[in-house]
Structure 1
């Protein structure tokens, strides 16, 4: 199962709360985590939730390279594929 941007949104909101910025749902995927008001702790909480729910571990160095929810979804997909190989 591939993780979607909608799943990233659900997980990050459950882990760190709703975004601070008044971002419409359509723009969420490509809005930077900084603009959304999510800092490193929120991303680490999200990564932990992703690991629990999807069984995919995202290394911190790669996690912090993700700038948007879409980037994070792609990173999780790549990590899942690498783990399966």
Structure 2
């Protein structure tokens, strides 16, 4: 079953639980427009986040998803677009 909406809070929960948090990074601040790289998440970590999002919301993520999700806000927007297309 597809989730109805994916939020920044959902993403932060995945980031904390699955990919970890880099030392000195506070995910409880305004991180929405900060790049994953600046937050301490390399491309492998973003791939892990992508996989966990797909599991959680029940959508198949395209191969180019990582390049389309450079920031947390962009990731949330992209996932919600995928959800809308899946309905």
Matches within 5 A, 1:72-83: 72-83=75-86
Alpha-carbon distance between aligned partners in 1 of 2:33 and 2:56, rounded to the nearest angstrom = 23
Q: What is the CA distance between 1:60 and its match in structure 2?
A: 2.7
Higher helix share: 1
> Do the aligned partners of residues 81 and 26 (structure 1) sit closer, same or farther apart at CA in structure 2, a change above 3 Å counting?
same
- Which ranges in structure 2 are unaligned for 5 or more consecutive residues? none
- Name the structure 2 match of 1:18: 21
Counterpart among 60, 65, 69 of residue 62 in structure 1: 65
> Do the aligned partners of residues 62 and 24 (structure 1) sit closer, same or farther apart at CA in structure 2, a change above 3 Å counting?
closer
Query: What TM-score do the two structures reach when normalised by structure 2?
Result: 0.83
**Which 4+ residue blocks in structure 1 deviate beyond 6 angstroms?**
none
- Which ranges in structure 1 are unaligned for 5 or more consecutive residues? none
Counterpart among 8, 11, 26 of residue 11 in structure 2: 8
Query: What TM-score do the two structures reach when normalised by structure 1?
Result: 0.84
Computed over aligned residues only, the root mean square deviation of the Cα atoms, in angstroms, reads 1.6
Per-residue Cα deviation, 1:21-78 (whole angstroms, up to 9, x for no partner)? 4346232112111100111111111111111111022213132221110100000000
* SS of corresponding position for 1:57: coil
Q: For CA contacts below 8 A with separation 6 or more, give which structure has more relative contact order.
A: 2
